[in-house]
Structure 1
Amino acid sequence: MGTHAQGKKPRRRGRRRIVDYPRAGRSGVRRWLPSWRQLLGATGLFVTAVAVLFVCVYVSVDIPDENAAARREANVYYWSDGSQMVSTGEVNRQNVELDQIAPSAVHAVIAAENETFYDDSGVSLKGLARAAVNMARGKETQGGSTITQQYVKNTYLSQDQTVTRKVKEFVIALKVDRKKSKDEILKGYLNTSWFGRGANGIEAAAHAYYGIPAKKLNPSQGAMLAAMLKGADLYDPAVGAANHERARQRWAWILDRQVRVGLMTKKERAKYRTFPEPRSRSRSTSLGGQTGYLVDVANRYLKQHTGLTDEELAHGGYEIHTTFDRARVGRLERAVRRVTARDLDPKKRPADRYVQVGAASVRPSDGALVALYGGPDATEHFTNNADTSGVPVGSAFKPFVLAAALQHGVSARDLPVSDVASLRAPAAGVRQSVLADSHYASDGTLSRSDGAPDPDRPTLREALVSGGNATYVRLGKDVGQDMVRRTAVAAGLLRQSMAPLEPTFSIGTSTPSAIRMATAYGTFANDGVQRDPYSVTKVLKDGEPLPGLEPPSSRRALDPQVAQEVSDALRSGGKHLGVDVAAGRTGDQDRLKSAWFTGFTKDLSTAVTLFRLRPGEPQLLPMSGVAGKKSERGNVLPPRIWKEYVG
C-alpha cells in the first residue's frame, strides 16, 4: 500500500484567472457568452469611466468671455482699384429686454425651438447623442439643441459643426443654466439669433421684415419670425416661391404647436389664417444707389464659389475685393438718369410710367463685371434689373442664330452646290460671308446676293441689324433651333433663360439678364473665346484668402472666323452711334414688351435693357408710346443710354 501511494502523482490545479473569459468549463458558443455578472461589471465600469470623464471635462471647461466671443465685425467691400467701396458696418443688432418683445413672439420661439425650456436643465442628451452619430456618419452635428445650448453657441463658441464643439456647448450650457436665470438666457438667445436679412436678434428682425419694433409684433408675425430660426436662407418668403411655401407651412405649424403646448388658445389661433407677408427686402442707407446692387451681386458670386452662407457673411470680418470699376459704375448711372430724365415724361405720357432700366458692362478678355445699373436705388427698388430674368431679348438674339449658321452650316438644300463646299470649311480660313451675304430666294433656298439692295429679300447681314425677322425665323429653322440654343449657351447665355423651341425662338423670346447678354456678346469680341462673368477677385478672412475665387477659365465657343464675321455684320448696327462698335438691338418689328441694345468693342461689352413693370406685379406692361410716337416703342432709348455711357 505504501508502495502504491508513493507511485501516485498529485493532480495539478490550474491558476485562477481574474476575468473568466473566455469562460472555462464551457464549450461552443456558451464559452464566448459573458455571464450576467460580467455584463453587469462591464456596464458599471463603462458608466464609471464616462462619469469620471464627464467630471474631468466639466471641471476643465470654463464659461468663456461672453463679450469677446459675441463680438461681430463689419464686412468691407473694395473697388477694383483697391479703394474702399463700402463697409457694411457693425452687425445689425439691437439688444432689447424681454419686456420689449411681444410675449406672443416669445411664446412662438419657445414652442418652435424648445417647449420645455423653463423646466429643463439647459441641455439635451438626445441632441448630443445625435451629434455623435451624425459625426460618425460624416454628417453635420447640428440639431436637437435646447435654447440654452443655442444661446451658448451664439455667444461663446465658434459655429464649427464638430463633436468637440458640441461637447463644449453641452458642458457650458449646464454651467450657464446654473449661473443665469431662464429669462436672462432667453433674452440673450433672442438678441443673438440669426433671422436673415442681415438681422441678428429679434428687434432687428422685426424692423427688417415688418418695419416695427419687436414689442409691436402680433402673434402671427411672431410665428413667422420664429420660422426664420430654422434657416433664413430657406425660409425668407421674399427669396422665391419655394421659400414662401416653406415659410407658410412652418408658420402654420408654429401657431398650431403653441396651442398643443398650452401657449395659445384655440380661439386665439383661429384669428390667424392668413400668412403675414413681410415687407420687401431692403438695405441700409450705406447700400443706397448702385452700391446695394453691387454688394448683392458680389455676395451671390462668392457664396456660389466659396460655400459661404448668409449667416456666415453676417458674422462679418470679410474683406471682399470686387471687379467693379468705380468710374464706370458712376458713368453708367449718370447715363441712365440723363437719358430717362430727358426723354421720359411720366406726368404727361402715361406710357412713360413704370419704365425700368437695367445695364451691365463686362470685359471680354477675362469676363470681369466692371459696371452695372440695377435700378434707381437698392434700398427702394431691391430687384437688380441688371441680373434679372423675365425680359425677352428680341432681335438682339439674332447674332446667335447667325453664329450657329456660320459655325455649323445649314442643310445642303438651302445653298447652291458651289457655295456649300466653301461654307463647310471655316477651319481652313475661308471667310463665312458666303452665308452672311446670302438671302432667301423666292424658291426658299439661300442664294448669293448680287450686291443690289432688295428690301423684300434682305441678306442675312442686312436682316441682322434692321428688320428681317421672317428671314431669321427661317434661318433658325434651317440651322435647327436646338443648334441655335446650344450656340447661344456656349457663347455665355444660361440654359434656364432659354425659351421653348417654337417658331419665334430665333427672334428673341428668351429672357437672359443684361449681365449674360454682355457676356455672350463679349464672346464675339474675344474671337470666339468665352469666359463666364465674375465679380469677386479675392476674399480675406483674418488675413487669409478663401479658396474657390480663381477667375473663370476660358473655353472656345466659336471658331475665330465665325466670331469675326458676326462682329463685322454687327458693326453696321453701330454706325449710327458715330463710334466703331459692333451692336445688336431690338427694332420696330419686335412686338415684345422690352427694348434692348448690346454693343461691344475689343475692351468692353455692354448690354442695356428697358421695360415697363408696375411694382408688385409680375407681368411686363406694353411698350407702345414709350418716349413718344417716334421712339419705335422705346427702342431708341437703350442706344442713347449706351452712347451717353461710352461717349
Structure 2
Amino acid sequence: MGRADATRARQGSRGAGPRPKGRIRRLFTWKKMLGTFFGICLLGIAAAFGLYFYVDVPAAGTEIATAQSNVYKYADGKVLARTGKLNRESVPLSRVPLEVQHTFVAAENKTFYDDHGIDLKGTFRGIFKTLQGEGKQGGSTITQQYVKNYYLSQEQTVSRKLQEIVISLKVDNEKSKSEILDGYLNTSYYGRGAYGIQAAAQAYYRKDAEQLTVSQGAYLASLLQAPNQYDWALATPTGKKLVQQRWAYTLDNMVEMKWLSKADRDKQKFDVPKDPKPQEGLTGSTGYLVQAAKDELFAHGVDEKKFALGGWTVTLGVEKDKQLALERAVKRKLTADLDPKLREADRNAQLGAASVDPSTGHIVAMYGGAGYTQHYINNATRQDYQPASTFKPLILATALENHATTQDGRPITPDTVYDGTNRRPVTGGTAPFAPPNEDQRSYGNITVQKAMNNSVNSVFAQMGADVGLDSLKKTATSLGMNGARMDVQPAMTLGSMGASPVQMAGVYATFDNHGRKVTPTLVTKAEHATDPEPDLPDPIGDQVLSRKTADTVTSVLRGVVDDGTATAVQDTSYQAAGKTGTSDDNKSAWFVGYTPKLVTAVGMFGEAQGGKQVTLRGAGGGGRVNGGGYPAQVWAAYNAAALGSGAGATFDLDADSGMGVAPPPPTDTSPPASETPSGTPTESESPSGTPTHDPTPTDTGDPTPTDTGSAPTDPGTGGTTSGTTGGPGGANGGQGAGGNNGTGGAGGAGNGPGGGADGLNALN
C-alpha cells in the first residue's frame, strides 16, 4: 500500500466514528426525551382519567360481602343460633364505642380521617410486588380495604388493584368517613369464622360490639393483619408476641393521634380472648325453633330470598330456662322409659309440646322432637294427628256462648244431665252416630261436669248435635284451629280433625285469657340493618268468647284435674285446669293444661317409618297410652320447674258453676207434693251442694235412680226398649224408669221428689 492509500485509510477510519454518534445524538436529544416523558405522562393521565370515568362504583356489594348470618336470640337477648353462609351480623357504627373505632383507625390507617381514600406509595408498591409474583401486600387504606371487601373479589391482579384505586377515590368522594368505617368494620374478617365486628366480639369476648373495651378493640384491630396467626387460641409463642406488639403499636398510635391519653394508655392491660366455642347450630330443639321462626316470618310477609342473604336479628319469646325445663321433663318422664332397640312402639313414639304465656301470647318453650337433624318434622307444629277429647271443651264453649239447649229444650250448663250410655245413638244429628265410650263403659245419667271429668264420648256427641256442627266449627276456627282440616261430620265431636300442640295451646290460652283470643307467636321482633321490620301482628286479639263462657269452661276443666282423667297433674302449689285426649286406635295421646300463668299442650304421636300413623300401644313397656299418662306426666314435671313465682297464682273466674267455683249455700228445692208434668226435670241438690238439673238425684252414673223420699223406693214398671211409655211411679216419689227413647211414667204421690221421668235416652 502506498503512502497516499495509507493516508486515505487513516482519514476514513477517523471519519467513520463521528457519523453514528451524530445519529444517536439526533435521536435522543434532551428535547425529544423530555417530550417523550411528558407524552407518557399525558397518556398516563389520560388513561387515569379514562379509567376513572370508565370504572363505576358497583351498585351493590358482592354476594359474599352482603351475605350475613341470621341471628336468633332468646327472649333475654342471649344467642340461640346463627345461620347463614357467613358468621356475620352487621351493626351500625353508632353501636361501636368511639374509642374502639379509633383502635381500628390507629392500627390500619391513622390518617384515615384526612386522606382521600388511597395511599399511592403503598398501592404502587403493592402493584410492583404483585407483578413480581409476591402475592398479597399491605399498604392499603381503610377505604381501599373496604372497597376490596365489599365491592371486589379477593384475587391478586393488577387490573383488580387498579379498580380498587379508582373505586376508592370515588367512594371517598361519595361517602362520609363514618359510612366507610362502618362498612370496613362490618366486612372485615377476624378469624374464627367471624365476619364483622359484632361476630368478632362474640367469638373472642362473648359480648356485643357496644360492650368492647379499648384493650379488646385494640386486639380485634390487630387481628386484621393476620387473623389465624394472631388468634390467641391458635397462635405460636411467636404469634402471641407479635400480636401483643401490634396491640401496643395500636395504642401508641392512639396516643399520638390524641385519641387516648398517656395516662389511660399506661393503664391498659392485654385482655386475653376467651377460648373458641363451636358455632351455634341446628342440633336438638334449636333446629325446630329456627325453622318455626322462619316459617312465621315468611307467613307475615318477609321475602324468603332476601332472608336467605342474612343480616336479620330475630328475637323469640322463648325463655331459655323454660325451654331447658321442657326438654328435661320429656327426658325424665318419657324418653327415659323408651327402649327403641327393644320395642317397636318405642321406636314409633314421638312427642311435641308448646308452652304459651296467656298474657302475651308468646311461645316460651317448644319441644319439636329428638332433634331437627334426626326427625325433621316439628312435632309441636304438625297438624296431622287427632286432638281427640281435648276438643270436648270447645263443644261446651259453643253451647255456652250460643245459649244452646238440649233436644228437649233444657239450657246446657255444667250441671245439665245427659245420658252417658255407651254407644247411645245421637238424636237430632245430621247422620246416624253412636260412638263408644272408653272401655265401652256406660255412665247412665250424668252431668256435663262429670262427663267432662271422665271424657264421656256419648255425652259430647249428643251435645255436638244439640249446638249444631256448623256452629261448632265456627267456634273452633275463631279459637285458632284449622278449618281446612275440619269436616263437618258427627265424628268431629270426638276431635277427629288434625291439630297441632301449638294450635291447642292457643285454644286453651284463650280460655285462660278470659275469652280474648291468643294466637301463639314465636317471633317477638325481627330487625335488619336496611330492610324494614315486618309488621308482626299482636298475639293477643279480640274477644272471641264472652268472659262468662271462657271462665265457665275453665271452671269445668278444673274438675278434670281435681276429680277426672288428669289427676296425675295435681299439685298443691298451683291451680290447674286441662283436658286429656286419646285418639282412635291410640295413635295419639294428649294433655292440654293451664294455670293462671302458663298454658302447655303436650301431644304424643305414633309414627312409623315413612310417616305412617300407628298405635302407641305398648310404648314404654305398658299397654294403652292415655293422655293422663306420659303427656300429663311431662306436663306436670315441666310446670313444676317452669312456674317459679307464678306457682301460687289462682284463677280469677266469672263463672256460676263448674268444679272451679264454690257452690252456693244449700236451699230447699223440694217441690210441693203434687204431680210434676212428665218430662220436666226438677232441680235437686247434688251431694256436693251444687244445683243440678238432674231429675235423678245422683251423679254416680247409675242408670237406676235412687229415691230421695223417706220411704223405700218403689220403682214403676220400666218401658220397653222399643220406646214405649214407662210404667207408673211408685209410692213416696219413686220415679218411673222409661225405656230407650220412651216416656217415663208419672211419679207416684208422696213427700219425695215427685214427677215422672222421661226414658233414659230422652234425657239427651
Bin for the TM-score computed over the shorter chain:
0.5 to 0.7
CA gap 1:380/1:434 in 2 versus in 1, 3 angstroms: closer
Q: Partner residue of 1:581?
A: 576
Q: Partner residue of 1:536?
A: 523
Alpha-carbon distance in 2 for matches of 1:473, 1:456: 15
Alpha-carbon distance in 1 for matches of 2:291, 2:426: 50
**Matched-pair contact (CA < 8 Å) for 2:419–2:444:** no
Deviations 1:124-160 (A, max 9, x none): xxxxxxxxxxxxxxxxxxxxxxxxxxxxxxx969xxx
Alpha-carbon distance in 2 for matches of 1:595, 1:539: 35
Deviations 1:513-532 (A, max 9, x none): 11010000111111111121
Q: Partner residue of 2:656?
A: none
Q: Partner residue of 1:467?
A: 455
Query: Once the 2 structures are TM-superposed, how far is the Cα of residue 508 of structure 1 from its aligned partner?
Result: 0.8
Q: Partner residue of 2:248?
A: none
Which 5+ residue runs of structure 2 have no aligned equivalent? 1-49, 89-149, 153-166, 168-278, 429-441, 641-764
Alpha-carbon distance in 2 for matches of 1:341, 1:539: 34
CA gap 1:623/1:70 in 2 versus in 1, 3 angstroms: same
Q: Residue 400 in 1 paired to residue 400 in 2?
A: no
SS in 2 for 1:610: strand
Q: Partner residue of 1:497?
A: 485
Q: How many pairs align?
A: 383
Query: Once the 2 structures are TM-superposed, how far is the Cα of residue 603 of structure 1 from its aligned partner?
Result: 1.3
Query: Once the 2 structures are TM-superposed, how far is the Cα of residue 630 of structure 1 from its aligned partner?
Result: 4.9
Alpha-carbon distance in 1 for matches of 2:612, 2:493: 22
Tell me which amino acid in the other structure corresponds to 1:372: M
SS in 1 for 2:370: coil
1:298-317 equivalences in 2 (<5 Å): 298-305=293-300, 307-317=301-311
Q: Residue 643 in 1 paired to residue 643 in 2?
A: no
CA gap 1:349/1:553 in 2 versus in 1, 3 angstroms: closer
Alpha-carbon distance in 2 for matches of 1:314, 1:58: 35
Match 2:317 to one of 310, 320, 323: 323
Deviations 1:39-85 (A, max 9, x none): xxxxxxxxxxxxxxxx9x99574557965874421111111112221
CA gap 1:536/1:611 in 2 versus in 1, 3 angstroms: same
Alpha-carbon distance in 1 for matches of 2:60, 2:342: 64
Q: Residue 354 in 1 paired to residue 342 in 2?
A: no
SS in 2 for 1:607: strand
Alpha-carbon distance in 2 for matches of 1:490, 1:81: 32
Deviations 1:427-485 (A, max 9, x none): xxxxx4454x6657999899xxxxxxx93232221111313111111111111111111
Alpha-carbon distance in 2 for matches of 1:65, 1:393: 50
CA gap 1:409/1:92 in 2 versus in 1, 3 angstroms: same
Alpha-carbon distance in 2 for matches of 1:68, 1:515: 37
**Matched-pair contact (CA < 8 Å) for 2:590–2:602:** yes
Query: Once the 2 structures are TM-superposed, how far is the Cα of residue 381 of structure 1 from its aligned partner?
Result: 1.5
**Matched-pair contact (CA < 8 Å) for 1:625–1:634:** no
Tell me which amino acid in the other structure corresponds to 2:456: G
Tell me which amino acid in the other structure corresponds to 2:299: Q
CA gap 1:557/1:564 in 2 versus in 1, 3 angstroms: same
Q: Partner residue of 1:546?
A: 533
Alpha-carbon distance in 2 for matches of 1:64, 1:548: 28
Match 1:558 to one of 534, 545, 551: 545
SS in 2 for 1:585: strand
Tell me which amino acid in the other structure corresponds to 2:570: G
Alpha-carbon distance in 1 for matches of 2:366, 2:57: 51
Alpha-carbon distance in 2 for matches of 1:68, 1:481: 55
CA gap 1:63/1:323 in 2 versus in 1, 3 angstroms: closer
Match 1:621 to one of 609, 614, 621: 614
Alpha-carbon distance in 1 for matches of 2:556, 2:449: 6
Match 1:374 to one of 368, 387, 410: 368
Alpha-carbon distance in 2 for matches of 1:64, 1:440: 74
CA gap 1:538/1:545 in 2 versus in 1, 3 angstroms: farther
Match 2:497 to one of 480, 492, 510: 510
Alpha-carbon distance in 2 for matches of 1:86, 1:440: 52
Alpha-carbon distance in 2 for matches of 1:445, 1:88: 57
Q: Partner residue of 1:478?
A: 466
Alpha-carbon distance in 1 for matches of 2:519, 2:496: 22
1:113-512 equivalences in 2 (<5 Å): 286-305=281-300, 307-411=301-405, 413-416=407-410, 420=411, 432-435=413-416, 455-498=443-486, 500-512=487-499
Alpha-carbon distance in 1 for matches of 2:445, 2:87: 63
Deviations 1:569-589 (A, max 9, x none): 1112223122321011115x8
CA gap 1:379/1:68 in 2 versus in 1, 3 angstroms: closer
CA gap 1:536/1:60 in 2 versus in 1, 3 angstroms: same
**Matched-pair contact (CA < 8 Å) for 2:605–2:616:** yes
SS in 2 for 1:533: coil
Which 5+ residue runs of structure 1 have no aligned equivalent? 1-54, 94-154, 158-171, 173-283, 424-431, 447-453
Query: Once the 2 structures are TM-superposed, how far is the Cα of residue 315 of structure 1 from its aligned partner?
Result: 0.9
CA gap 1:85/1:62 in 2 versus in 1, 3 angstroms: closer
Alpha-carbon distance in 2 for matches of 1:634, 1:549: 34
Match 2:72 to one of 65, 69, 77: 77
SS in 2 for 1:458: strand
Structure scoring higher RCO (CA < 8 A, sep ≥ 6) equals: 1
**Matched-pair contact (CA < 8 Å) for 1:458–1:468:** no
**Matched-pair contact (CA < 8 Å) for 2:367–2:380:** yes
1:76-95 equivalences in 2 (<5 Å): 76-88=71-83, 90-91=85-86
Alpha-carbon distance in 2 for matches of 1:65, 1:472: 63
Query: Once the 2 structures are TM-superposed, how far is the Cα of residue 565 of structure 1 from its aligned partner?
Result: 1.1
Alpha-carbon distance in 2 for matches of 1:410, 1:66: 65
CA gap 1:288/1:342 in 2 versus in 1, 3 angstroms: closer
Alpha-carbon distance in 2 for matches of 1:384, 1:550: 23
CA gap 1:443/1:380 in 2 versus in 1, 3 angstroms: closer
Tell me which amino acid in the other structure corresponds to 1:469: N
Alpha-carbon distance in 1 for matches of 2:505, 2:308: 31
SS in 2 for 1:347: coil
Alpha-carbon distance in 2 for matches of 1:475, 1:504: 12
**Matched-pair contact (CA < 8 Å) for 2:505–2:520:** no
Alpha-carbon distance in 2 for matches of 1:354, 1:553: 36
Alpha-carbon distance in 2 for matches of 1:68, 1:397: 50
Q: Partner residue of 1:597?
A: 591
Query: Once the 2 structures are TM-superposed, how far is the Cα of residue 497 of structure 1 from its aligned partner?
Result: 3.1
**Matched-pair contact (CA < 8 Å) for 1:537–1:550:** no
**Matched-pair contact (CA < 8 Å) for 1:394–1:592:** no
Alpha-carbon distance in 1 for matches of 2:606, 2:494: 20
Match 1:569 to one of 542, 548, 556: 556
Tell me which amino acid in the other structure corresponds to 1:511: G
Query: Once the 2 structures are TM-superposed, how far is the Cα of residue 503 of structure 1 from its aligned partner?
Result: 2.1
Alpha-carbon distance in 2 for matches of 1:526, 1:605: 10
RMSD value, Cα: 3.3
**Matched-pair contact (CA < 8 Å) for 2:361–2:540:** no
Q: Which has the higher helix share?
A: 1
**Matched-pair contact (CA < 8 Å) for 1:285–1:379:** no
CA gap 1:86/1:468 in 2 versus in 1, 3 angstroms: same
CA gap 1:63/1:366 in 2 versus in 1, 3 angstroms: closer
TM-score normalised according to structure 2 size: 0.46
CA gap 1:66/1:325 in 2 versus in 1, 3 angstroms: closer
